[in-house]
Amino acid sequence: MITLRDNLKVKVFRNGQGSYISDPPGRYGRDVYWKIGQSNQIGRAAIRAGIDDNYTAVAGKVFQYGYNSQTVSPATNPLDHVNENPGQMGMWLEEAKALLPTVVGERTILFAPCAQGGTSFSGNNWNPGNTLNNNAKARVNAAMALPGGQNRLVAVTCLLGESDSDAGVTAANLFRTRIQAMYDNFLTTVTGMTATTPFVVGTIKPDKPRASIINAALLDFANSNAAVRFVDLTDLSWFDSDHYDAPSLAIAGKRYAQAIMGTT
C-alpha cells in the first residue's frame, strides 16, 4: 500500500487502484482562531525586544482580523483587540508558532482578537445579548465570511473570570451558569462553531479573591462539555496584581496550542 497526498486529500493505492479516504480542508482559506476574554487574553506585559517583535517564524502565514480595523493584516504585537496598548505583547505568538505545523497547503492562520480588559459576566459584557458579546460574534462571523477559500473556525480561546472573582461571592457563584449560557449561545450564533470545536479556558490567578470558585467552575465547565478544554495556569508568574509577565504569556500560548491540538 502506498499513501500519497493529492491536493491535500489522502489517496491510498491498493493493487493499483486509488481511492480517497479523507477530505481535509481545502488548499486555500483560513484557519480561524477566535480570542475572547479580558486583559490577560490581550496581554499587558511589555514587548521584549528581539523576542516578542520577531515575526520571522510567522511572516506571511499568520494574520489577524482586527477588532477595531475590521480588516486583515499581519499579526503583530499587540493584536488589535478592543483595548490593546501599544508596546505590549500577548500569548498569541507562541501559540501561533506551535499551531503552524497543523496548517496545510496554502492556508493561513487568522486570529480574530475580541478581548477587552476588565470585562466579565457580572459587568454585563459577555452574557448573550450584551454589546461586547454581540460585537465579538459579529467580528468572528465577518472573519469567517472573508473571500479567498474555505475558512474554518478551528478553535476558540478564552481567558475570563478575574473580574467576576473581584465582583463578589454572588458573581463568582453565578460564573459557572453564565459561562455555560455564553457557550451554548455561541453554538447557535457563531459561524462554523459546533459541539466539537475546541473551546479552551484557562485558570485565573490563584490568589485572586474567590479564585477557587472560578477555577473550580472552569474545570467543571470543561468536564461537562466534550469540546471544552481546561488549561492550568496557576504556576505562572505576574508582574502586577492582575497580569502575567511576558515569559508566562509565552508559556500560556504554548499550553493553549497544546490544548487545541489535544496534546495535553
- The string of pLDDT tens digits covering residues 205-256 is 999 999 999 999 999 999 999 999 999 999 999 999 999 999 999 999 999 9
CB neighbours of 79 closer than 8 A, spacing ≥ 6? 35, 42, 64, 66, 90, 92, 111, 113
Name the CA dihedral angle for 218, 223, 226, 229, rounded to a multiple of 10 degrees: 40
pLDDT band, residue 26 (cuts 50/70/90) = confident
pLDDT at 263: 77
Distance, in Å, from the CA atom of 187 to the CA atom of 183, rounded to the nearest integer, reads: 6
What does the pLDDT read at residue 264? 56
User: Strand 88-89 vs strand 72-74: parallel, antiparallel, or unpaired?
Assistant: unpaired
Q: Across residues 27-32, what is the average pLDDT?
A: 94
Given this model, what pLDDT does residue 27 score?
Answer: 86
pTM of the model: 0.91
Q: Which helix (H) or strand (E) holds 230?
A: strand 228-231
Cell numbers found for residue 244: 502575567
Amino acid letter, residue 223: N
Beta carbons of 30 and 106 less than 8 angstroms apart:
no
Whether 4 has a pLDDT exceeding 90, the answer reads: no
Residue 12 has pLDDT above 60, yes or no: no
pLDDT at 25: 64
Domain ranges of the chain: 25-261
pLDDT at 236: 98
Residue 118: beta bridge partners? none
Per CATH, domain 25-261 is 3.40.50.1370: no
The mean pLDDT value of the chain amounts to 92
pLDDT digits (tens, 9 = 90+) for 132-154: 999 999 999 999 999 999 999 99
Element (H, E) at 16: none
3-state class of 209 per DSSP? coil
| Separation CA 93–CA 217 (nearest Å) | 28
For the chain, the straight-line distance linking the first and the last C-alpha, in angstroms and rounded, comes to 32
Contact 243, 204 (CB under 8 A): no
Which pLDDT belongs to residue 194? 98
